[in-house]
């Protein structure tokens, strides 16, 4: 059972987003991007108060994902990507993205301790993840 309702087109969009944002970090990195996406739909705080669907989350502007502005986001979806997206939608969570609402690639730098007022929850390969503080009451 999915933790977020979706239609097939949204599943494909999530799969493409996960691939576009983190293919270089392997399956686990892609799953963590999926975690952030699902968390944004489930969160009821900050930039995500009015985000209730995968489509709204993926194409949120401002504050959405940079990959949706790039041609590689629009590559054909692969079955592997669909399987990973379904895992994220079923609620599988992976640290440090378990509660994260943001991530970024610092390239060759260390992760900042805070990003837009949120604390670093950890790094996985090329991405730093940031979770809301408990007092934000996001979940």
Residue ranges per structural domain of the chain: 8-136
Give CA 37 to chain center in angstroms.
3
Res. 117: pLDDT tops 90: no
Q: Using one digit for the tens of pLDDT, what is the confidence trace for 54-112?
A: 999 999 998 889 999 999 999 999 999 999 999 999 999 999 999 999 999 999 899 99
Res. 37: pLDDT tops 90: yes
| pTM across the whole model | 0.97
pLDDT at residue 98 in the model: 97
The CATH fold assigned to 8-136 is: Arc Repressor Mutant, subunit A (1.10.10)
Q: What are phi and psi of 52, to 5 degrees?
A: -130, -5
Q: Using one digit for the tens of pLDDT, what is the confidence trace for 43-53?
A: 999 999 999 99
Share in percent of the chain as helix, strand, coil (round to 5) = 45, 10, 40
pLDDT at residue 65 in the model: 94
Mean pLDDT computed over 116-121: 92
pLDDT at residue 10 in the model: 98
Give residue 108's region: left, alpha or beta (phi > 0; psi -120 to 50): alpha
pLDDT at residue 116 in the model: 85
């Amino acid at each position: 059972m999915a933790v977020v309702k979706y239609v097939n087109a949204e599943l494909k969009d999530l799969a493409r987003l996960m691939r576009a944002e983190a293919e270089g970090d392997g399956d686990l990195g892609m799953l963590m991007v999926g975690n952030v996406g699902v968390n944004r739909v489930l969160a009821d705080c900050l930039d995500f108060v009015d985000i209730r669907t995968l489509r709204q989350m993926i194409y949120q502007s401002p504050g959405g994902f940079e990959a949706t502005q790039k041609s590689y986001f629009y590559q054909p979806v692969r079955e592997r990507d669909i399987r990973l997206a379904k895992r994220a939608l079923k609620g599988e969570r992976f640290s440090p993205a378990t509660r994260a609402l943001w991530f970024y690639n610092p390239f060759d730098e260390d992760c900042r301790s805070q990003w837009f007022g949120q604390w670093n929850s950890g790094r996985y390969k090329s991405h730093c993840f940031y979770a809301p503080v408990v007092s934000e009451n996001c979940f």
